[in-house]
Amino acid sequence: MNPKGGLGLRNLNLTAGRTDATMRPMSLLARRLAAVAVLLLSLGIIAVLGLRATGVGPFASPTPVAATATPEPSTPAPSQDLLAAFGEIEQQVRQLRGLPAADVGPPEILTRAELAEVLPGLLEPALDNGTLRALGLLDADQDIVALTEQLYVSQVLGYYDFDAKRMVVVTDAGLTPAAEITYAHEYTHALQDAAFDSSAAQEEVAGQRDRELALLGLEEGDATAAMVLWAIGHLTAEELAGITETPVPDMSGIPPWMVRLLEFPYISGAEFVGQLYASGGWEAVDAAYGELPASTEQVLHPQAYLDGEPPVEVDGIDLWNVVGADWAHASDTTLGEAWMAIWLEGIGVDQPSAEAAAAGWGGDRLTVATDADGSWALGWRIVWDAPLEATEFEAAYAGVEDGLPFAARVIHVSDRETIVLQASSAELLETIAPLAGG
């Protein structure tokens, strides 16, 4: 899993030749960290087994799993050769995925306490507190860095260190099925890195939030598919059941939208990869690394990817023209369909309506300006595939607008264009309204 991308956790914003004043480029390791979380082990297996039941893609005819007695938990013992066990998993995943071996160092085993010491330094949100508050996703007393640390420290089971070219597995109980399946997932990331140059792909999309999340959908969908297929072929039915029944860590205080964003690359990504496989096997999946998905719309609707339907380039709203050039550029980026659906749900639209309202997305540009006194203004220009899509979104937003704890307005610009304006005060909203003709 990549906690940077799943939660938009990349810190470099290079839009319109400008780096956000409130952000700095993150370290190479932080930008390319890959990890597996407790929650997503069960979610990934359940999602992909669901695809298996429908006969989609590589999940239609998995290797049967023999029903055997539940084995005793494996615990570290002086005679247990962990390196040999991990080496066997590597060979199995290579054969499954059909990619050449990756030159990786020996895995590092961390306890959860040791992970708690190193992980916080790797978590650098791409959308800062100001942007998330302007979107209505964070309260004034919430901090995205603290919430992200809370979410991940209790869940991460492992990650692939792209810089050191090695896997890190987190376990307090030795070589458990969870540790094995984690290793299968992370070794798939190592194979991706060696075969397709993950660094170059990440650099290509850096700062483009929608494309970053779309790339993660491909990478994590691929790794999730391989992980689950490996598990189906090499774990017993009881071991699989045990993983899917893994207790979810306490996420008290974590906003639901963060969990939804965490899920996206794995669940939607696995469905995307399944459709690619159905169109041409693993070769079609491999080819996607040479022709990356251009948007989360293409991940959510694979036919749009197969048809080569590009997102529409949209001009941002120049908030600084009216608020003042001294206001910080908190965000100036494209968020995309996946983020938009999660945002709508986060501000109070029910999930089915949120997904339907975002489904007609054609392109967008979000700009957020913040002042040192805590004031902020948001302008979001959205282009739709058809007039009906604009109407559906505007109705969904209008249904929750009165309940928002800040000044807000949705403006119907044309049949296929909508502008959302939000501000920290009604007076500021009136100041920026002329920018949208409102």
CB 295 within 8 A of CB 287: no
Ranking 101-115, 153-167, 270-284, 352-366 by mean pLDDT, the lowest is: 153-167
Closest CA to 274 of 299, 311, 294, 240: 299
Higher pLDDT, 4 or 87: 87
Contacts 24+ apart (CB under 8 A), 243-246: 243/41, 243/42, 243/45, 243/177, 243/178, 243/181, 244/41, 244/42, 244/45, 244/46, 245/42, 246/38, 246/41, 246/42, 246/178
> For residue 49, what pLDDT band results from cuts at 50, 70 and 90?
low
| pLDDT value at 73 more than 50 | no
In this predicted structure, what is the pLDDT of residue 22? 33
Summarize the confidence of residues 325-334 as an average pLDDT.
94
pLDDT of residue 310: 95
State the average pLDDT over residues 63-87. Answer: 49
pLDDT for 15 beyond 50: no
pLDDT (0 to 100) of residue 418:
98
Q: Higher model confidence: residue 112 or residue 405?
A: 405
